[in-house]
Amino acid sequence: MFIDLSRISPEGLDLALPEAELDVGASDGTWEGPARVSADLHVARSGHDFLITGTFTGRLNLLCGRCLERFQFRAEDAFNLFCPVAATAPAAEEHELAEDDLDVTYVEEGKLNTDQLLRESLLLSLPVQPLCRDDCRGLCPRCGADQNQGPCDCAPVGTDPRLQVLKKLL
């Protein structure tokens, strides 16, 4: 959905976006399929620029980083973004961002793309290592069996003798 920023009144605009499918783009194996996202947004004028605040709730199928099982991740978060109208997006070349740059979004042709905004917010809320549950035991390093389903028949792996010295420190 696109919001034409030139039509925002001085009082601002409140939007309630009902839950809908959101294409989150290609994955590196972390997630599968589209997400389901709903959001409440408020777009307010700040001089000639805009301030976008809101909350979102999203659900996305992730793959556990330990056992590779698919599970549904639920994200809820709030965001505050500054949208300078006169500014253009930085060039594609790499440069270091300051902390203040992280809360800035740029628009093309005076239109705010809410799908892009929600996609970025959802992807930023994903855990670095997605886990199906906190006590996930992962896969057996020898046979690949899911340790959450029960122990496998593999013999326990002994400690590398070169690391025995470190055991004394504990």
Token look-up 């002994």 returns 158
Give the integer Cα–Cα distance in Å for 170 and 166: 7
In contact, 17 and 95? CB cutoff 8 Å: no
Asked whether residue 68 is assigned to any structural domain, the reply reads yes
Asked whether residue 72 is assigned to any structural domain, the reply reads yes
Sign of the dihedral defined by the CA atoms of residues 144, 146, 147, 150, in that order: negative
Q: Which domain holds residue 113?
A: 2-136
For residue 149, the model assigns a pLDDT of 94
Within 10 angstroms of residue 47's Cβ, the number of other Cβ atoms is: 8
Asked whether residue 163 is assigned to any structural domain, the reply reads no
User: pLDDT below 50 — which residues of the chain?
Assistant: none
E-strand spans in the chain? 2-4, 13-22, 31-46, 49-63, 70-83, 111-113
Within 10 angstroms of residue 13's Cβ, the number of other Cβ atoms is: 16
Asked whether residue 150 is assigned to any structural domain, the reply reads no
| Entry pTM | 0.75
For residue 8, the model assigns a pLDDT of 85
For residue 75, the model assigns a pLDDT of 94
In contact, 62 and 30? CB cutoff 8 Å: yes
Asked whether residue 61 is assigned to any structural domain, the reply reads yes
For residue 62, the model assigns a pLDDT of 94
For residue 30, the model assigns a pLDDT of 85
Asked whether residue 128 is assigned to any structural domain, the reply reads yes
Sign of the dihedral defined by the CA atoms of residues 54, 59, 63, 66, in that order: positive
Asked whether residue 6 is assigned to any structural domain, the reply reads yes
For residue 97, the model assigns a pLDDT of 64
